[in-house]
Amino acid sequence: MQRSNRLRDIRALTHDDIVGLVAELGQPAFRAKQLEEWLFQKNASSFDEMTNLPKKFREQLTERFAFTTPVELVKQVSHDGSRKYLLEYPDGTSVETVGMPSRGKLSVCVSTQAGCAMGCAFCATGFNGLSRSLTAREIVDQVAHVARDFGERVTSVVFMGQGEPFANFDETVKALRILNDPDGFAIGARHLTVSTCGVIPGIKRFAELPEQFTLAVSLHSAVQSTRNQLMPGVKKYTLLRLHEALQSYVEKTGRRPSYEFAMIEGVNDTNPEMEALIDFCQGTLCHVNLIPLNDTPASLLKPSPMHKIEALQRRLTMHGVETTIRNSRGNDIDAACGQLKQKQVHVQGA
Ligand code: SAH
Ligand code: SF4
């Protein structure tokens, strides 16, 4: 893997730049197409891989450009086959990415930001605030890294790692489109899932996209005061407005959003909380994922006991609300990570 802080990433070049570069280096015009294929379809991460380009041309490219692909600082492998990576970009920023194989499929959970500004009370990422947003290329490079490490095609991607995707909307959509490109990763839109903590302007823009990307919303409580405490960053996007935005989303797209509900003992597993959740969901198109909270060292919140989770599932089902209980994968590798555990959530649904 080549790295440099000085040289520009060749993948930042436009089509015209590449055509110009090929001419400047005295190569025939068709080399532009070959180079672009390596960069944007085969997702190469070094010039050495580009075996159909003349050696001299590859050397010239190496002198002028770099691949600013992230470097793997840590890899943890779970007994269930999931692998969690800590990847570092050239500026020293690092993020977590997870690869989850399952019956011939490979799902990747990507981060869209380093850190997060939303400050959710139960989330390990939120505790340290936001470092910076990632570029589309940096998000896609996480997927490429996992694909290379497993030596397999990635079949689905969940945007559920660190960060709030809709606080980085444009780069998130660019990344979705790169991953969806039939000449590149070719991951079907329905197999690309974005999870938001409920940023309403983002949900509205997401509904306008022509592609059938999947939406997940972190709900965690349908009682306003509880939700304000758990998710202070989205206080201004009230549950009433969130509900409206989700109904418009469903009307506009005909697609079913998932609601994430991490069950926290004594906080959102009480009777009134369950009533409120049923009210929020009943009669609407949605799928509820009940997740036992992952314990994080920085918070005193504890997961609800399984019998309560099962009881809520039964109640939701009785009211016609489709519900799944999800258990984390990679328990043994994820001790310090607040939310990268339950990304299995959409793997099976995707
Ligand atoms: N910022 C986005 C996406 C990243 S978080 C969002 O909040 O939706 C991905 C998922 O992990 C969210 O549903 C989030 O609420 C959940 N999560 C965070 N910390 C968790 C924890 N300790 N236990 C269970 N789920 C958690
Ligand atoms: Fe940010 Fe999502 Fe964590 Fe909340 S749950 S702090 S929005 S990453």
Query: Which two three-digit tokens encode residue 22?
Result: 């090929």
CA of 75 to the centre of ligand 1 (A): 21
CA of 196 to the centre of ligand 2 (A): 8
The candidate with the shortest Cα–Cα distance to 160, out of 89, 238, 90, 107, is 107
Q: Which residues of 67-76 are buried (b: 16+ CB within 10 A; e: fewer)?
A: bbbbeeeeeb
CA of 304 to the centre of ligand 2 (A): 20
pLDDT recorded at residue 349: 33
CA of 116 to the centre of ligand 2 (A): 6
> Is 197 a catalytic site residue?
no
Q: Using DSSP, state whether 89 is helix, strand or coil.
A: coil
163 CB within 6 A, ligand 2: yes
Contact 1, 69 (CB under 8 A): yes
What amino acid occupies position 18? I
Nearest ligand by distance to the CA of 196: 1
Q: 10 Å Cβ neighbour count for 238?
A: 15
- CATH code: domain 8-66 is 1.10.150.530
> Is 120 a catalytic site residue?
no
pLDDT recorded at residue 291: 93
**Secondary-structure class of domain 71-333 per CATH:** alpha beta
288 CB within 6 A, ligand 1: no
State the catalytic residue, choosing from 120, 123, 197, 337.
Answer: 337
CA of 160 to the centre of ligand 1 (A): 7
Atom of ligand 2 nearest to the CA of 338: 3
Nearest ligand by distance to the CA of 233: 2
Mean pLDDT by 10 residues, the chain (350 residues): 68 93 96 95 91 96 94 93 94 95 95 96 89 96 96 96 97 96 93 98 98 98 98 98 98 97 96 97 96 84 95 96 82 48 34
116 CB within 6 A, ligand 2: yes
Among 111, 125, 228, the mutation site with the greatest number of ligand 2 atoms within 8 A of its Cβ is 125
pLDDT recorded at residue 295: 83
Q: Tell me, rounded to whole angstroms, the distance of Cα 105 from its chain centroid.
A: 17
State the catalytic residue, choosing from 96, 138, 171, 273.
Answer: 96
Helix ranges restricted to H, 212-295: 224-230, 239-253, 271-281
CA of 253 to the centre of ligand 2 (A): 25
111 CB within 6 A, ligand 1: no
Residue with tokens 């003349």: 54
304 CB within 6 A, ligand 2: no
160 CB within 6 A, ligand 1: yes
Helix ranges restricted to H, the chain: 15-24, 30-36, 55-64, 124-127, 136-150, 169-180, 200-208, 224-230, 239-253, 271-281, 306-318
For the chain, the domains span 8-66, 71-333
pLDDT recorded at residue 332: 61
Q: How many residues does the chain have?
A: 350
pLDDT recorded at residue 5: 54
pLDDT recorded at residue 298: 72
Predicted TM-score (pTM) of the model is: 0.91
CA-based radius of gyration for the chain: 21
Take atom 16 of ligand 1 and give the residue whose Cα is closest: 339
234 CB within 6 A, ligand 1: no
Name, in order, each residue with C-beta under 8 angstroms of 203's C-beta and a sequence gap of 6 or more. 166, 196, 215, 217, 242, 245, 246, 249
Residue 329 and residue 332: Cα distance in Å, rounded? 8
Name, in order, each residue with C-beta under 8 angstroms of 224's C-beta and a sequence gap of 6 or more. 238, 239
Residue 314 and residue 139: Cα distance in Å, rounded? 38
